Structure 1
Amino acid sequence: MAVAGVHLHVGAGELVGLFGPNGAGKTTLFNLISGSLKPDAGEVVFYGEAITHLPPHVRARKGIARTFQVVQAFGELTVLENVLAAVAHRSLARWLPLGRYDSPARRSVALELLEAVGLASRASERARNLPLGLLKRLEVARSLALQPKLLLLDEPLGGLNVRESEQLLEVLLGLKGRTTMVLVEHNVRMALPVCDRAVAMDAGRVIAEGRPEEVRSDPRVIEAYLGDGDDA
């Protein structure tokens, strides 16, 4: 779905929820912000700098990180090693064998990140053995290892049961203040309460923006969700 005329401002330290039915343009907007897509018109401005024509890896170095709907973890590595690899990626250490970038300083950073997402007790387990709910938390920790100024979370609750979703949202609440976050999520009922601000999209356009409770009750949002008040 193309997006048109979208103006989205995210303040430092905010947790903003981006909601809308299938085909609303949410993932397309994420792709425009992260650099996977180039806009035909308009600009992407990050901390006062126009980054519209910069490739994704340059945007990442400037502080934009992203999680994906499909978890990307190294299954044969331990949970700690997965985060160590991300920590090392910020320096030339990413070119070194695993054993050589496991320095005390990097290990300390990685363990702190695992503590922040509630995975410290699983540090020595192989990532392949983690259930999906914990893999999602691991991906958040790996993204935070890049020290992003902006973290884009693409459907973090996808595939999770209610308890796993609650636990992941608790983790995200605990991370507020560490970085700015924007999340795309279909599970509006669960995700909306943790957001500072909500933005609703439909057919590639923003149709409502404001406090979560205001956006949820907006008639345009309810109509976009086909009047299903349980989902909107």
Structure 2
Amino acid sequence: MKSEPHEGGAMTRRIKSPEPVSTEQLLAALAALGGGVIADPEHQAERPRSSDATELLGAVLVMVELDVASRVDTLAESLAGLEELHRGWGQAEEAAGPGALRALLLNRLQRSGFDIQAFVHPDHGVDDDPAQPAAAAAASAAFAAAGFLAVLDCLEDGGLQAAYGALDAAEGFLAHALVGLHVARQSLSGPDLDEPLGPPSGR
């Protein structure tokens, strides 16, 4: 796997699945995981096409992550569940080859940044919402973590200049995260902290 430049100066790795799954397999997986409405052909406008695979993968991922979250409590005193999850997750190295785990972690961190932007607290142009800068800081922190992890890949590939680029990208995202932290803290000085911080009325 070779590191390649990514938007914003960060790095990403090309990952190839050893055996890409078909839309039929994804629909079967969704049905088995309890995503019956999504997988039910009656709710499909037409037969799923190969181009629908990525969307179906997102639906499968949600179902899997929900089950993982219900079984693995990262705040529990015992991390036995996490250790068991790691044992299974570690098989990716065998399935996808050397470097697969780090490449998957980097990809997951980058996706987490985009997921936070898209789902946690999307920007609707409300400047006085205290939760917005905190959500933006969380997304930037995820991108920064991806940049730091990408440095290791760059160094392994012998790309010193690329490693500096990944560090610069991580530093930029980290600066954005710190600005978001500061703005969020300043925003909290206004509202009554006893009241829940929800989106403003009419949003």
TM-score by length of 2: 0.30
Structure number with higher relative contact order (C-alpha < 8 Å, ≥ 6 residues apart)? 1
Higher CA-based Rg: 2
Answer 1 or 2: which has greater strand percent: 1
TM-score by length of 1: 0.27
Answer 1 or 2: which has greater helix percent: 2
